[in-house]
Amino acid sequence: MSNPGLLNELVAALRCLPGVGPKSAQRMAFHLLQRDRDAGRHLARVMAEAMERIGRCRQCRTLSEHALCATCASPKRDASLLCVVEQPSDIAAIEQATDYRGLYFVLGGRLSPLDGIGPEELHLDLLRHRLHEGGVSEAILAISPTVEGSATAHYITGIAEGSPVRITRIAHGVPLGGELELVDGGTLAHAFAGRTHL
Amino acid sequence: MFPADRDRLQPGFVLHRRDYSDSSLLLEVFTGEHGRLPLLAKGAKRGRAPSAALLQPFTPLLLAWRGRGEVQTLVRVEPAGRPVALVGDALYCGFYVNELLTRLLGRQDPHERLFLFYQMVLQELAASRDLDTPLRRFELRLLAELGYAVELDRDAEQGLPVQPHLYYVYSHERGLLPALSPQGDGAVSGATLQCLSRGEALSGSQAREARRLLRALLAPYLGDRPLRSRALFAARPRRPAGT
Ligand SMILES: [Zn+2]
């Protein structure tokens, strides 16, 4: 059986989505073409527009269609708190799970010299400027507890030097509902070092 | 039946890891018996007890793997001790050591001695404020283990032992030679060379000389691509003196 070219192209294009293999890409393509062309057209329109119009917020570097994202522009957010995260998806996770009302800064990754990711790639100069221009009293580092995350946190502590900003780090430890014996030694050691008074 | 040593756990360290898929990691591992090798850790980020937290650089591990071809599959991992506590500048130095090994070691060449030296340098970086002395010692040992040993205790022309008050230059073709002038390009004091060949602690100015010398010694093997961890270390914000 030989597929027409455009159909092949659609299936191949859908495979750029994370977790989508050849089988599911084919299913998606057939579904849209056979059952829901309107949804397909809508998807194509929104996709094209989003790819053109969504850029980075100039203040926090999250994904935004405006020069200043909704969070940065909101007068209801507490501008004295700045939460530093790796990815825009981390913001979504924090917004859904916590009642944090401060602002954010998105690094886009963590320092990893062996991957060629240095301070420029993470726009740490922009963060330095933000910490030193005044207005921020606490910067909360919500960075993965990996060795690269720890190097990143150390670097940020360094660039905050001389500013009045207090640098804090979210607690690392045993996952809720997790069993102690299944937790790796490094996590357990972190959890012990970061124990809190009851 | 399977051979007896199938899935035998071997001591090793993760030099570097990257995401391979939503659930798997691609590791670059260093062991004594097999040197540097890539391993695929399937499902390391998922499951009841994901191994991603364990599979990090600077954690002594016991690893077992299977498979054919260049990239084999990790089948078991256990901690072989606590992670080496590298923080701050020492952590950047740890990345540097890992980058050196990733760049300079061929794959699957056994390096039993170098594996010991690697563990020693990590311990020293974690324990000491002086990061230069352990790094330079490791770099010299690395060169020797790769077959590029350099003789720093006598001059190559006359065979005379290095004199602490004289200056020397190192030529890749001819070895260690007396320097024409102490200010000359790449001149190193005999005192620094003695510290290096004896493995003694380097003082401030000696540390700078030794850093420059080792950088020149490593350069031909590293090629044109700059070391990113070296750039990161140079660009890092310094704490004001005394803190
Ligand atoms: Zn913003």
Starting at the edge strand found earlier in the chain, the sheet holding A102-106 runs A102-106, A78-85, A138-142, A166-169
Centroid of ligand 1 to alpha carbon of A100 (angstroms): 15
| Cα distance between residue A151 and residue B95, in whole Å | 10
Which of B57, B52, B126, B59 minimizes the C-alpha distance to B88? Answer: B126
Question: Is B235–A113 a contact, with Cβ atoms under 8 angstroms apart?
Answer: no
How confident is residue B1, by pLDDT bands cut at 50, 70 and 90?
very low
Length of chain B: 243
Q: In the prediction, which pLDDT does B122 show?
A: 97
pTM (two decimals): 0.87
Please give the average per-residue pLDDT across A60-79, as a whole number.
96
What distance in Å separates the CA atoms of residue B18 and residue B25, rounded to the nearest whole number? Answer: 6
SS (H, E, C) A38-75: HHHHHHHHHHHHHHHHCEECCCCCCEECCCCCHHHHCC
pLDDT value for B239: 61
Among A119-133, B38-52, B67-81, the range scoring the smallest mean pLDDT is B38-52
Question: Ligand 1: distance of its center to the CA of A96 in Å?
Answer: 17
**Could you tell me what percent of chain B has a pLDDT over 70?**
94
pLDDT the model gives residue A154: 93
pLDDT digits (tens, 9 = 90+) for B179-227: 887 777 788 999 999 999 998 999 888 999 999 999 999 999 998 888 8
**Which residues in chain A have their CB less than 8 angstroms from residue B228's CB?**
113-114, 116, 118
Instruction: Report pLDDT digits (tens) over B69-99.
Output: 889 999 999 999 988 999 989 999 999 999 9
Cα-only R_g, chain B: 20
**pLDDT exceeds cutoff 70 at B48:** no
Cα-based distances in Å from B191 to A97, B153, B174, B177, B206: 60, 10, 21, 15, 8
> What is the Å distance from ligand 1's center to A177 Cα?
34
Confidence at residue A74, expressed as pLDDT on a 0 to 100 scale = 96
Query: Exposed, middle or buried, B99 (CB in 10 Å: 0-12/13-18/19+)?
Result: buried
Residues in A closer than 8 angstroms to B229, CB to CB, are 113-114
Check residue A135 and give its pLDDT: 93
Structure confidence at residue B173 (pLDDT)? 86
The size of the A-B interface in CB pairs under 8 A is 76
**CA of B209 relative to ligand 1 center, distance in Å:** 46
Query: ipTM for the complex?
Result: 0.83
**Per-residue burial over A76-104, b = 16 or more CB atoms within 10 Å of its CB, e = otherwise:** ebeeebbbbbbbbebbeebeeeeebebbb
Average pLDDT, chain B: 89
Residue B160 DSSP class: P
Using a CB–CB cutoff of 8 Å, tell me whether A189 touches chain B: yes
Question: DSSP string spanning chain A?
Answer: ----HHHHHHHHHHTTSTT--HHHHHHHHHHHHHT-HHHHHHHHHHHHHHHHH-EE-TTT--EESSSS-HHHH-TTSEEEEEEEESSHHHHHHHHHH----EEEEE-SS--BGGGTB-TTTTTHHHHHHHHHSS---EEEEE--SSHHHHHHHHHHHHHHTTSSPEEEE----PPTT--GGGS-HHHHHHHHHT----
- pLDDT on residue B9: 94
Mean pLDDT across A80-107: 96
Residue B105 confidence (pLDDT): 93
What pLDDT score does A167 carry? 96
Å from B239 to nearest chain A CA? 7
Q: Inter-chain contact B83–A116, Cβ cutoff 8 Å?
A: no
> In which residue are the tokens 């035998």 written?
B8
Contact: A115, B18; criterion CB under 8 Å: yes
Q: Which residue has the higher pLDDT, A99 or B226?
A: A99
Bridge partner residues of B168 (DSSP): B178, B188
Most B CBs within 10 A among A114, A128, A163, A167, hence the mutation to make, goes to: A114
Structural domains in chain B, CATH included, are 10-79 (2.40.50.140), 89-235 (1.20.1440.120)
Amino acid at site B166: L
Check if A21 contacts B (Cβ < 8 Å).
Answer: no
Residue of higher predicted confidence among A188 and B127:
B127
**Which residues in chain A have their CB less than 8 angstroms from residue B98's CB?**
114
Domains with residue ranges and CATH for chain A: 5-53 (1.10.8.420), 77-180+185-191 (3.40.1360.10)
pLDDT single digits (tens) B88-136 = 899 999 999 999 999 999 888 899 999 999 999 999 999 988 999 999 9
Q: Is B163 exposed, middle or buried (0-12, 13-18, 19+ CB in 10 A)?
A: middle
Rounded average pLDDT over A126-131: 95
Q: What is the pLDDT of residue B27?
A: 96
Tell if the CB–CB gap between B231 and A18 is shorter than 8 Å.
no
Query: Residues of A with CB below 8 A from B49's CB?
Result: 182, 184
Asked if A115 has any chain B CB less than 8 Å from its own CB, the reply is yes
pLDDT at res. A175: 79
In this prediction, residue B235 carries a pLDDT of 84
Is the minimum CB–CB distance between A17 and chain B shorter than 8 Å? no
Contact between A113 and B54 using a beta-carbon 8 Å cutoff? no
Is A151's CB within 8 Å of B102's CB?
no
Residues of A in contact with B83 (CB under 8 A): 185-186, 189
- pLDDT tens column, A2-35: 556 999 999 999 999 988 999 999 999 999 999 9
Over 80: is that where the pLDDT of A38 sits?
A: yes
Which chain A residue's Cα is nearest to B236?
A155
Residues of B within 8 A of A150 (CB-CB) are 87, 91
